[in-house]
Amino acid sequence: MILAEAANLHTFVDAFRFIGDNPGFLATKAWQQLELSGAALGIGLGVALPFGIVLGHLHRGSGIAIGSSIVGRALPSLVLIAAFLTVLGIGFVNNMVALAVLASGPILTNSFDAVNRVEADVVEAARGMGMTGVQILRRVELPLALPLLFTGIRIAAVTVVATAPIAAIAGGGGLGDIIVNQASYRLAGVLGASLCVMILSAAVFVALVGLQAALTPTGVRRTRVGEAPTGKEPQ
Amino acid sequence: MRTAAGPIVIPNFGKGNACVTGNHAFCWGWVRQHWGDTLQPALVQHVELTAIAVGIGFTLAFALALVAHRYGRIEHPINIVSALLYTIPSLALFQLLIPFTGLTETTIEIALVSYTLVILFPNVVAGLRSAPEDVLEAARGMGLTRRQILLRVELPLAIPAIVGGLRIAVVSTISIATVAAFLGDYGLGDPIFRALDDPTPFKTEIYSAGALAVALALVCDAGLVLLRRVLAPWAGRRLA
């Protein structure tokens, strides 16, 4: 629970002053948050990505993919972190696991969908050319699935980085440490750290959009990357 | 045992529940006992927070989408703004609003409405655009005015996309609203934050409030799927 503190627009000036006065401290906290997010995303990728790709390749288990997206959305991050805290205790591991679960939903759903919806004709043609299942997956399905697959990874990454401040309530460290500790850092510090979190997640978003554009094969570059994934056709 | 002043009286605090004092995995007794004073009010508040946020967010998103559909140009900028807005962590957004609106329900609602707006606007626009060109051509050929085409052709065809957006918006709002308890005693996040304040968090409180939040989200999601089946029976039986 945070303290009521008289606040006005000057608090924002103080918040920027806080950032200016403590660049090293904030950078350390931001790095902690990136480490936690990276570890969680790594686990999520390691578990959910192969699973989704294989299911998509086999065109099986759409129920699992759809179900995991529904349940994944329905699980509030706070509930996940609090629930894992009771099992794994306060600290890095608990938050890493909770955030990894959070990341797995969009990764699994999008990787399944991306590979599953590769046009059957193209796969048929590849098979006719004598490609094996693994070759079809590596040379045909994955390149074509890349944009949508990466969208899932981007959603997961931004979700994890943006959720990581909540981890501070369970000893996860990072910029959230400042946000949940208004008693020590005053509202100015809390706002300063909040601004840093916004900049951090926006930077991750922009970096991943750039990476996605760079990784997408030229022939597949039909859709504009960076748009909200609404299944909308390019204009 | 007796002392000079008489027998030692040990105050009776009632029968200590072994499950609660031992912080076992889950105590149904505690849930029954505190349903009325903790869980139910929190659930009702949570539903209120979500309903207000989705109601306002949907109205705004719908109005903006109609403007975007009519005049086109504002769509791409709004999409970029909304994608960036969604990267703002809820905890940070709540804090950033405090200097303007204080520690109030208004602060919570402004944040929640922003998130629903960000989700709903692209979906409504995509839905309005989803009418095939030959269908529009046929409507024009039948002499329908622009307004009639919107009301009788484009809007009905947009229902699946709009309901799809609503599903994500409602479920996300329920999820984000748990964090709102950080600002005050609102919603299902409140029992969880209170349990976390303890050095040894009371498991039953976390699990029961968490389960209620997840159940609320799943029930709303299923309800919206049903709504889509009623409003747009042609839209296929896919769940997601």
B89-141 confidence digits (pLDDT tens): 788 888 888 878 888 888 889 889 988 988 888 888 888 888 888 988 999 99
CA quadruple A85, A87, A90, A95: dihedral sign: negative
Q: Is residue B5 included in any domain, yes or no?
A: no
Distance from CA of B8 to the nearest CA of A (A): 39
Distance from CA of B146 to the nearest CA of A (A): 21
CB contact under 8 A, B196 and A169: yes
Domain span including residue B147: 43-235
Kindly state the tokens that stand for A10.
């000057």
CB contact under 8 A, B207 and A86: yes
- CB contact set of A112 (below 8 Å; sequence gap of 6+): A52, A53, A55, A56, A61, A62, A64, A65
Residue with tokens 């699935």: A145
Instruction: Spell out which residues of chain B touch residue A193, defining contact as CB-CB under 8 Å.
Output: 92
Q: Is residue B4 included in any domain, yes or no?
A: no
CB contact under 8 A, A195 and B129: no
Distance from CA of A33 to the nearest CA of B (A): 13
The lowest-confidence range among A28-42, B37-51, B79-93, B218-232 is: B79-93
Residue B11: per-residue pLDDT: 65
Q: Is residue B22 included in any domain, yes or no?
A: no
Determine contact, residues A101/A80, Cβ cutoff 8 Å.
Answer: yes
Residue with tokens 């308890």: B181
CB contact under 8 A, B221 and A74: yes
In angstroms, the CA B124 to CA B130 distance is 10
Consecutive 10-residue runs of chain A (235 residues): their mean pLDDT? Answer: 58 84 87 91 93 89 83 86 85 88 89 88 89 88 87 87 85 84 82 87 87 77 47 31
In angstroms, the CA B102 to CA B154 distance is 42
Name the maximum alpha-carbon separation found in chain A.
72
Kindly state the tokens that stand for B129.
């655009």
Q: Is residue B181 included in any domain, yes or no?
A: yes
Instruction: Spell out which residues of chain A touch residue B224, defining contact as CB-CB under 8 Å.
Output: none
Question: Nearest-CA residue of chain B relative to A66?
Answer: B240
Q: Is residue B148 included in any domain, yes or no?
A: yes
Q: CA distances (Å), B165 to each of A82, A228, B62, B222, in order?
A: 28, 12, 11, 14
- pLDDT band at residue B58 using 50, 70 and 90 as cut-offs: very high
Mean pLDDT for the stretch of residues B13-37:
74
The alpha-helical segments, DSSP class H, found in chain A are 9-21, 23-58, 62-74, 77-88, 92-116, 120-128, 133-135, 142-163, 176-179, 182-215
CB contact under 8 A, B126 and A231: yes
Among A18, A33, A35, A31, which Cα is nearest to A195's?
Answer: A18
Q: Is residue B206 included in any domain, yes or no?
A: yes
Q: Is residue B221 included in any domain, yes or no?
A: yes
- pLDDT band at residue B170 using 50, 70 and 90 as cut-offs: very high
At B79, which helix (H) or strand (E)?
A: helix B75-85
CB pairs under 8 A between A and B: 161
CB contact under 8 A, B240 and A70: yes
Predicted confidence (pLDDT) at residue B55 exceeds the cutoff of 90: yes
Q: What is the DSSP string of B15-50?
A: PPPHHHHTT-S--HHHHHHHIIIIIHHHHHHHHHHH
Q: Is residue B193 included in any domain, yes or no?
A: yes
Among A55, A35, A36, which Cα is nearest to A47's?
Answer: A55
The backbone region for B143, taken as left when phi is positive above 0, alpha when psi lies in -120 to 50, beta otherwise, is: left
CB neighbours (10 Å) of residue A119? 11
Domain count, chain B: 1
Determine contact, residues A72/A106, Cβ cutoff 8 Å.
Answer: yes
**Please, what are the domains in chain A?**
11-217 (1.10.3720.10)
Determine contact, residues B21/B27, Cβ cutoff 8 Å.
Answer: no
Instruction: Spell out which residues of chain B touch residue A190, defining contact as CB-CB under 8 Å.
Output: 95
Question: What CATH number is associated with residue B55?
Answer: 1.10.3720.10
- CB contact set of B101 (below 8 Å; sequence gap of 6+): B107, B110
CB contact under 8 A, A4 and B239: no
Instruction: Spell out which residues of chain A touch residue B80, defining contact as CB-CB under 8 Å.
Output: 226
Q: What is the DSSP letter of A222?
A: T
- CB contact set of B93 (below 8 Å; sequence gap of 6+): A194, B111, B114
B7 SS3 class: strand
